[in-house]
Amino acid sequence: MLFFRFRSKPTQPLTAAGILLVAFFVFADTPAVRPPAPPGSRSVLDAHNCYPYNGRWGDRIDRALSTGVPIAIEQDPLWYTDPRTGASRSLLSHGKPADGTEPGMREYFFERIRPIMEAALERGNRGDWPLITLNLDFKSDEPEHHAAVWKLLGDYQAWLSTADKSANPAEVTPIQAGPLLVLTGEADSQQHDFYDVLPVGAKLLAFGAVHRLGHDATVEPRGMISSPATNYRRWWNNPWNVVERGGQRNAREWSDRDHKRLAALVNFAHKSGLWIRFYTLNGGPPNVDDENGWEPDYNFGTPERVRERWMAELETGVDYIATDEYEEFAKIKAHFMTKPSLLARPGLE
């Protein structure tokens, strides 16, 4: 907080302009109006598919949160209709078929993070908000589904990072940081339901990804997205094959050329005002996928190969590093944070 000593006599009233000037300096320094951590300022674990599968692995969110904050947590909402009652609701599922026993986001995610959010609001923003990024990977995009999720977000709006809708869709209005940031996907239907239908001046509760133009690892970064940041679209989501042709299963030894390619993508994203995410980097023997419910196509084959790439992501400043190996990545990041080279990246957390 800034404090000022006025030379005017105590009985001399402030002019209207003086009152406005004092208000500007006082409120501009309050935690409530600080922006969120900008693109390129920190690299965080993005806990991939952080919800139960078929009644198994229900501890994923606890495992993710045990690594600390800031963190991103991916949730996959699916619109489910009960065949007996005809009632529909949003559930967490990697896709169809769902049987109705899957949890919803309210109980599995929002209420689980309530203590973290309430403690954050009580202490205020110390420059580390958002503490949690909720990455919504919609598995179905029905208008009714979007409406239900919008209502859910509204129930927790006091926690959210928000921005004002501009009359110009290309205008990047400032985000007012909350302890929770919500990201959605590329789909135009999501933009319609979470942005287009809102009146000018309304609060944006979620922010979409820019459209990705293909997966070719040889295309220059400027040719890979449809636009820089916009009023609604604030991040760039990528499969790993935009870095290494063929993705995880066909990756060769990590090279200087690969490192430069990754750095070029990251630097272009940040210059475009975008957070950037790459998914999903795991490494281990084949049985580790079956035992943990992970997707084999994301497996580099050995712990050493994935650690090398995690380090490259940290070194180049990737904002969201997606993996199923929450604890192992956290160890690598903790080690990285001790490196003197961090002096070149002020603000990294």
In this prediction the pTM is: 0.88
Residue 27 has a pLDDT of 40
Question: Residue 18 above 80 pLDDT?
Answer: no
Task: Kindly report, residue by residue over 285-337, the tens digit of the pLDDT.
Answer: 989 999 999 999 999 999 999 999 999 999 999 999 999 999 999 999 999 99
Contact between 309 and 334 under an 8 Å Cβ cutoff? The reply is no
DSSP codes, 231-271? SSEEEEEEEGGGTSTT-GGG--S--HHHHHHHHHHHHHHHH
Hey, is 23 helix, strand or coil?
helix
Q: Token digits for 143? A: 């208008």
Contact between 294 and 288 under an 8 Å Cβ cutoff? The reply is yes
Smallest CA-to-CA distance from 325 within 306, 309, 341, 344 is with 306
The structural domains of the chain, with segments of one domain joined by +, span 42-208, 210-341
Cβ-Cβ contacts under 8 Å for 24 (sequence gap 6 or more)? none
Round to whole Å and give the CA distance between 140 and 153. 17
Question: Residue 271 above 80 pLDDT?
Answer: yes
CA 55 to chain CA centroid, nearest Å? 26
Task: Kindly report, residue by residue over 175-222, the tens digit of the pLDDT.
Answer: 999 999 999 999 999 999 999 999 999 999 999 999 999 889 999 999
